[in-house]
Structure 1
Amino acid sequence: MIVRRERPADHAAVHALHAAAFRPPGARPDADVVEARLTDELREDAGFLPHLSLVATDGDAVVGHVIATRGWLEPLGVPALGLGPLGVLPAAQGRGVGTVLVHALVAVAEAADERLVALLGAPGYYRRFGFVAADTVGVAAPDPAWGAHFQARWLGDRRAEGTFRYAEPFARL
């Protein structure tokens, strides 16, 4: 498996990957899948950061994708990152693809001198990457109902407090 930046030639494969990974059981194959549409919209947004859109490949096949886009902490406008979606083809799940992608994304973010990565996801999965309930480190969720599923990880010592805001396409969900 190789992890690299997503390229324009990967867009269709990444869309199909997220559609397959997140399609509800029993849904039609052509059903709209939020995560696939969201990924497409994030690429067109001002918050898109090409160096933080990564694919995992197995031979010529794209088997996983993760993206982080520009977010911020309000009210001061402190730059931060919103991780997601993270998707892996169903046939490749359970082989560590998602783990490798999250580690790679966090490493790239840290190398780019980012301060914070936040996400909405399963605490049991993301805890192993150093994510904790965001409210325990001074970061409030955009929606308080998310509770412990809204998580954050500080990168380095430059910390701030505030309410996290995702890139604009998330607001349209």
Structure 2
Amino acid sequence: MKKAMKLKSLLFCAMLVFALAVNTVNVQADALDYLGNTIDESVLTNDMESVGTYQSVARSTYLHEGYVRITNNGNGYVGIGGATLCNVTCNTVKLNVYLERSSGPEDFYSYKKWENVDYSTNSLYFSTQIKVEKGYYYRLRGYHSCTKNGVTENGGSVTDGIYIG
């Protein structure tokens, strides 16, 4: 009788070890595990939008300010917008917008870009919406430029990274 009990206990332990071995869980870091980290000067957030601005220095003659704005529009859609604003009408106004992405542990890298230019104006605006892959952080970088009479003033803006899940 004691042998049968020992055998049952041993069999139970073997089955338990086998069950644990078969049901192991592979643990990997999820993109949301990186919330709050700073990657390449952008904080990783779960916010619905982020705005990055460039404010010209006090002595700027032509370029007043620039901004880029990224929004989580849901279902994998991202809203993208920006502007370059000049103090006066300029010969050439530029706004380049760069969409970048990161999974969390690595730097942001280029995903898509838009180059915009207008002439004889004091402002340039851009906006669009695109579908992106879910599970990544996305941010915008902007390049803002105003040129008048051969003199160019420029600056850059960058948003924080927003998670699109």
Q: Return the TM-score normalized by structure 1.
A: 0.29
Structure 1 or 2, whichever has the larger Rg, is 2
Q: TM-score, normalised by structure 2?
A: 0.30
With a CA cutoff of 8 Å and minimum separation of 6, indicate the structure with the bigger relative contact order. 2
Larger helix proportion, structure 1 or 2? 1
Q: Which has the higher strand share?
A: 2
